[in-house]
């Protein structure tokens, strides 16, 4: 039994041990994954290095099957900025490095279900370095985005991994107001996910996570 299979089964056991979770199925190949995404899923755990292809190939058909509400959480040994950005651009809602213990894995699943964007600290360091290296200085880009100060504040909190409920508490606004701001942010940045919004905002110098 190879290491990937051992890790996958350990993660499956951790999921099954949670009383409010249900393991719908496991797929060890891309072909099996295509069958799995036809089931009703709340979270799809994706491995990039499958024997017969890249796990990210499952995301477009997942969305095409009406899976917009299904969260996609990547578990991978690859933690470089380029791979993480590619995952986000393909619709991943979170990115966790393989080797995370069961507690961290379950916490990441719960975070993504709550609207968060869990990213392993080591991965975050790589992606921020990559984005900052390519980003123009604030106000120095050729594109302009009409984000309001409140939308910028909400986006900065989302970039830190806070759930919509936590953002509402921090900003002193209602949950529904947060969702309205997020919809406006997505529209103005021409994106469809939190990960894409954060990436675009960092790339164009719209938010500052160093505060």
Could you report the per-residue pLDDT of 134-189, keeping only the tens digit for each? 544 444 443 556 889 899 999 888 887 778 888 899 999 998 899 899 988 988 88
Percentage of the chain surpassing pLDDT 90? 19
CB-based burial, 154-163: b 16+ in 10 Å, e otherwise: bbbbbbbbbb
Query: Mean pLDDT lowest for which of 58-62, 65-69, 85-89, 188-192?
Result: 65-69
Query: Contact 94/73 with Cβ under 8 angstroms?
Result: yes
The domain in which residue 19 lies consists of 3-129
CA distance 50 to 69: 24
CA distance 131 to 97: 19
Same domain, 36 and 8: yes
Whether 145 is in a domain gets the answer yes
Instruction: Determine phi and psi for 21, rounding to 5 degrees.
Output: -110, 150
pLDDT, mean of residues 12-22: 93
Same domain, 124 and 157: no
Query: Contact 152/165 with Cβ under 8 angstroms?
Result: no
Q: What is the pLDDT of residue 193?
A: 76
Cα angle for residues 55, 132, 114 (degrees, 5° grid)? 50
Same domain, 10 and 53: yes
Partnered with residue 43 across adjacent β-strands are: 71
Q: What is the pLDDT of residue 138?
A: 43
Q: What is the DSSP string of 66-114?
A: TGGGSEEEEEES---HHHHHHHHHTT-SEEEETT--HHHHHHHHHHHHT
Same domain, 112 and 145: no
Q: What is the pLDDT of residue 122?
A: 67
Same domain, 12 and 112: yes
Q: What is the pLDDT of residue 142?
A: 38
Same domain, 90 and 187: no
Domain boundary among 95, 111, 129: 129
Whether 210 is in a domain gets the answer no
pLDDT, mean of residues 124-129: 64
CA distance 93 to 112: 7
Q: How many CA atoms lie within 13 A of 61 on its CB side?
A: 13
């Amino acid at each position: 039994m190879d290491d990937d299979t051992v890790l996958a089964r350990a993660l499956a056991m951790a999921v099954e041990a949670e009383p409010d979770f249900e393991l719908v199925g496991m797929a060890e190949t891309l072909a099996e994954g295509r069958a799995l995404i036809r089931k009703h899923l709340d979270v799809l755990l994706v491995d990039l290095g499958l024997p017969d292809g890249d796990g990210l190939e499952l995301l477009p058909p997942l969305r095409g099957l009406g899976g917009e509400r299904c969260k996609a959480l990547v578990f991978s040994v690859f933690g470089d900025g380029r791979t993480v950005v590619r995952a986000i651009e393909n619709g991943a809602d979170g990115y966790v490095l393989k080797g995370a213990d069961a507690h961290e894995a379950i916490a990441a699943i719960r975070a993504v279900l709550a609207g968060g964007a869990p990213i392993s600290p080591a991965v975050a360091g790589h992606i921020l370095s990559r984005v900052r290296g390519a980003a123009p200085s604030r106000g120095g880009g050729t594109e302009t985005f009409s984000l309001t100060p409140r939308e910028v504040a909400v986006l900065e909190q989302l970039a830190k991994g806070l759930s919509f409920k936590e953002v509402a508490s921090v900003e002193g606004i209602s949950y529904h107001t947060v969702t309205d701001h997020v919809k406006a942010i997505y529209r103005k940045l021409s994106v469809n996910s939190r990960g894409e919004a954060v990436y675009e905002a960092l790339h164009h110098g719209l938010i500052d996570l160093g505060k």
